Structure 1
Amino acid sequence: MLNSMRKNVSYLFMAMVTLVAIACQDKNDQKGPPAVTAKVIADVNIIDIRSGSISKKHVVIDSGKIQQILPASKDEAEVIEEAELINGEGKYLVPGLAEMHAHLPAVIWNDPQMEETLFLYLSNGVTTVRGMLGHHLHLELKEKVTKGEMLSPRIYTSSPSLNGNTVTSPEQAIEKVTAYQKDGFDFLKLHPGLRLHVFDQIVQTAKKVNIPFAGHVSTLVGIRHALQSGYATIDHVDGFLEGLVPASAQVNPNENGFFGYDFTEKVDTTLIPELVQLSKENQVWVVPTQSLFTRWFSPTPAAALAKEPEMVYMAPEVIENWINSKKNLTETADYSAERWGKFMEIRKKLIRSLHENGYGLLLGSDAPQVFNVPGFSIQHEMQAMVNTGLSPLEVLQMGTLHPAQYFKEEGNFGEIKEGASADLILLDKNPLEDIAHMQHPHGVMVRGTWISREQIDQKLKAIDDKYDKLKK
């Protein structure tokens, strides 16, 4: 049975609905009343993403935005028939998450693979995606999403990769950076292999044409120079571990292994504060993608990860490639569970320090990547962040409030407030008590469109069935 609401709440909302209906009727010159698109999430526990406080409210949504947040009442009252009511009794409401290190397939916007990928993100409450390996096809996708022509998280997209193979001279750097900015990409994606003088030209041109740059730190650039150059984000905590190796060790920077793993024993953790301070001074956000290291690079056998429930949503050949990739990376003479454990403790210490004293952390899981299924991997990432010592609230802020601040969209999304985009996750249990309660949401709303648990399960089953047939 739907929750009842106070009469004054009903009158306020019905008045608002009437005004919306009149405006729509005038605009469309219709004779009959237009269909009402409004929704009310009633009697729900709203989590204030800034403070962690919880209050029971009614949330009124229309035209893709949160129109009103009204006090809840225990009194019997009239049910608002003009709006779709969503029962929030005993449930918790948090802002939609931003996946700040995502990958989108290089296919046209209406390709089934794109539809599946975007839905996998939505199914786990990801309502904003920052694509980290851009393609010109993604520009049309972003336009379609911005216009509301397709169901998708909002899209921010990088340029195609700038790396040691694609940019080999300062002249190429000027040409590509200028072109990508004119094309409309949101930022530049940097990959490894850039020579120092080419990197410096990329930075100079990017600042001149006003386009941010983000991603990896090339070994010939180094973390200190990278931070001082003003990255928008450094992802994977790339370059930081190498930066903890004292100059006296006289290592070859190109022999660092997987994100500095081969330098594990040479690290001096007393150098952490210096690097963290540089990140703060130069306003560089960090996207840890810790799940990349707790899954792909972990001692957990590939066969065990391949049997996890969410793997049914990926094509069989993808799973096979992931198994081989993990084996090639971890089944070597240089790899051991003990050394991995030391490596991970250094990363955890870096992440905690970057959170406490750096410029800020953003939530990202690098999906789809080896055993990181889109949407589902953000759950693994949140747990990995809690395991580094952050509280569930701090982790949720990494995926909501911080991305809004990063994109300079604070107040437009990333928190539950009047006037903000209706990007919401309805949960059965309080995620501040256990971040695992973010899994299996009761429903997800993306810019006012409600996706119920039943709809999520139906779509996931269709994807499962599709790939199950390929196995036979």
Structure 2
Amino acid sequence: MIAYLLALTLGAAQPSQASQTGATAAVPTQAAGAWLVSDVTVIPADTDEVLPHRSVLIRDGRIVRILAPGAKAKVRGATVIDGRGKYLVPGFVDAHVHIATEGAIRDSKNPAIAALELGQAHEYDRQVMLAFLKAGVTGAANLGGGARSDEDLLWLREEIAAGRIAGPQLYVGKRINGPRAAVAPQPAAAVPASKPDAPTTAADGAAAVRQARERGYDFIKPYQFLNRQTYRAVVEEARRQGMITTGHLPELGCASCADRDFAFAHPMDNIAHSEELTRFARIGSDLSPRDLEALADAVAERKIAVTPTLVTLKTIVGMYVQRAVPPVPGDWAMRVDPVTRLDWTPPANRYLSQAFRDQDGADTFSAGYDFARVLTRQLWKRGVPLTVGTDASLPGLVFGVSVQQEMIELREIGLRPIEVLRAASINAHRLFDPQAGSGAVREGGRANLVLLDADPLADIHNVAKIAGVFAQGRWLPMAEIDRRLEAGRAFEQGLSRQIQAHPADH
């Protein structure tokens, strides 16, 4: 009953930003204050321990005290949240996502989409951010987008940190790629000339990293079409600038491409897909166990972390086999906004195209998914740090809930539930923000937390049973998140009407 009354009180404390326009954009969602989660089971996640009947004091965005059972503390001014029968865990992090923003809409190659009237209150962005929080995702690493999309995200990152928009802590990556070369031997002169956004020389690659650093990006995403010298320069300059690298392994098979040995001699901090390793295993082989062992050993020896994105591969296989976008879990289908839904349908959805089905090796997609699952298990057994990433909003993968789907994928290949929680939180914090603490539920840590109604260690599916979240130290009960999402439905319906008014343009 206490929790219900608190939810009503907190929900009434601020008007829904999603339903406001113009001047309300500067109003904080809720000022960072003080809360006491009483009599809750704490799962810190940085160890295997479970701490029952604790009371957790949160103030000004930090976990101030974790009180032992029966201990008393001065909590004057703190709002009490009833934690009986509930579980407090670190907030989840999507370590590989491509966030849809208003900037991405304006970047769209579809003129009808680019011309959508979005208003001035960033309502589209607010809805996307709330979807993450609804799934317990309090951190998200964006692995590259267009120029306007990146600018939008850099702005959103600061708005969220200041409490003016409710959302996950954002880590914004700069993708650095080269022009695609023919995957066949060719003279160096045949490589396309360098462009600012597609460097082909070491000097230009290093300069691109420095520019990203100056602009305020959090990390670098090297992409696979960088040639050998530029790839090395990007990785090494990022290290000099104190920026982590997570991305694709370089392309193989052309005169200016890297080879397997080169890629592991100049390693990134994190490989963004297990599929990248599967691609390396395909060169001159048929995904043999020998390749699997060699790749797992190389990753472990170089201390590279991996974001498997198994649910991404599974979804792509599903589209290839079923010729349709896989169903979205539960009631999350209603959270797919009309612009994203359009991107999921032909002709925008390339995974449903005949050209996709006709490409070489398409009939081995299922084998590639199986190989990636076994490879990920081998990485885990070797102690390689795994993180949870989704590649949303790839067709079929919704922002937020896709993190829960990937957590289930990791559980199914053998990780214990506590290890899945660690991959979804601790490991991501260590990768993207190592100077800011571990991300565990520990005194002094940031209050990015999820309050669950059931034990995730008994069944990992319980990560979907969310009572509320602390995002940037601010408490949002699920009832309030749902209310704000519902308040934004009118805006999304307006987008649908705009899209339906120009069907020929799609």
Range class of TM-score, shorter chain: 0.7 to 0.9
- 8 Å contact kept, 2:32–2:474: no
Which residue of the partner structure matches residue 313 of structure 2?
293
Which residue of the partner structure matches residue 121 of structure 1?
132
Match of 2:332 among 310, 322, 326: 310
Deviation at 1:155, TM superposition (A): 1.8
Query: So what's the TM-score if we normalise by structure 2?
Result: 0.75
Structure 2 residues without counterparts, runs of 5 or longer? 4-30, 104-119, 181-196, 253-257, 501-506
- 8 Å contact kept, 1:167–1:198: no
**In 2 relative to 1, CA 421–203 (structure 1 residues): closer, same or farther, beyond 3 Å?**
closer
Report the Cα distance in structure 1 between the residues aligned to 2:211 and 2:363, rounded to whole angstroms: 47
- 8 Å contact kept, 2:176–2:198: no
| SS, match of residue 370 in structure 1 | coil
RMSD: 3.1
Report the Cα distance in structure 1 between the residues aligned to 2:374 and 2:67, rounded to whole angstroms: 42
| SS, match of residue 302 in structure 1 | coil
Report the Cα distance in structure 1 between the residues aligned to 2:76 and 2:470, rounded to whole angstroms: 20
Relative to structure 2, which stretch is displaced further, 112-121 or 139-148?
A: 139-148
Deviation at 1:231, TM superposition (A): 0.3
* Matching of residue 46 in structure 1 with residue 42 in structure 2: yes
Report the Cα distance in structure 1 between the residues aligned to 2:225 and 2:2, rounded to whole angstroms: 59
| SS, match of residue 444 in structure 1 | strand
Which residue of the partner structure matches residue 262 of structure 2?
225
Which residue of the partner structure matches residue 214 of structure 1?
246
Match of 1:62 among 59, 63, 67: 59
Report the Cα distance in structure 1 between the residues aligned to 2:228 and 2:399, rounded to whole angstroms: 34
Considering Cα pairs closer than 8 Å and 6+ residues apart, tell me whether 1 or 2 has the greater RCO.
2
- 8 Å contact kept, 2:308–2:388: yes
Deviation at 1:364, TM superposition (A): 0.9
Report the Cα distance in structure 2 between the residues aligned to 1:112 and 1:222, rounded to whole angstroms: 46
* Matching of residue 140 in structure 1 with residue 140 in structure 2: no
Match of 2:427 among 402, 411, 424: 402
Relative to structure 2, which stretch is displaced further, 103-112 or 443-452?
A: 103-112
- 8 Å contact kept, 1:234–1:286: yes
* Matching of residue 193 in structure 1 with residue 230 in structure 2: no
* Matching of residue 360 in structure 1 with residue 355 in structure 2: no
Which residue of the partner structure matches residue 173 of structure 1?
205
* Matching of residue 242 in structure 1 with residue 273 in structure 2: no
Q: Once the two structures are superposed, what CA deviation does each residue of 1:277-332 show, in whole Å capped at 9, x if it has no partner?
A: 22222221111111111223323552552696312222334223213323227973
| SS, match of residue 295 in structure 1 | helix
Deviation at 1:209, TM superposition (A): 3.7
Which residue of the partner structure matches residue 485 of structure 2?
460
Structure 1 residues without counterparts, runs of 5 or longer? 4-34, 250-265
Report the Cα distance in structure 2 between the residues aligned to 1:89 and 1:295, rounded to whole angstroms: 37
- 8 Å contact kept, 1:40–1:86: yes
**In 2 relative to 1, CA 358–238 (structure 1 residues): closer, same or farther, beyond 3 Å?**
farther
Report the Cα distance in structure 1 between the residues aligned to 2:213 and 2:154, rounded to whole angstroms: 12
Match of 2:345 among 313, 323, 348: 323
Deviation at 1:464, TM superposition (A): 4.3
Report the Cα distance in structure 2 between the residues aligned to 1:240 and 1:394, rounded to whole angstroms: 22
Which residue of the partner structure matches residue 178 of structure 2?
163
- 8 Å contact kept, 1:422–1:447: yes
| SS, match of residue 52 in structure 2 | strand
Q: What letter corresponds to residue 449 of structure 1 in structure 2?
A: R
Q: What letter corresponds to residue 217 of structure 2 in structure 1?
A: F
Q: What letter corresponds to residue 123 of structure 2 in structure 1?
A: P
| SS, match of residue 198 in structure 1 | helix
- 8 Å contact kept, 2:138–2:168: yes
Relative to structure 2, which stretch is displaced further, 144-153 or 82-91?
A: 144-153
**In 2 relative to 1, CA 274–461 (structure 1 residues): closer, same or farther, beyond 3 Å?**
same
- 8 Å contact kept, 2:32–2:61: no
Q: What letter corresponds to residue 142 of structure 1 in structure 2?
A: R
Name the count of aligned residue pairs. Answer: 422
Which residue of the partner structure matches residue 10 of structure 1?
none
**In 2 relative to 1, CA 222–370 (structure 1 residues): closer, same or farther, beyond 3 Å?**
farther
Report the Cα distance in structure 2 between the residues aligned to 1:337 and 1:179, rounded to whole angstroms: 38
**In 2 relative to 1, CA 304–284 (structure 1 residues): closer, same or farther, beyond 3 Å?**
closer
| SS, match of residue 418 in structure 1 | coil
Report the Cα distance in structure 1 between the residues aligned to 2:306 and 2:400, rounded to whole angstroms: 20
Deviation at 1:443, TM superposition (A): 0.7
- 8 Å contact kept, 1:217–1:238: no
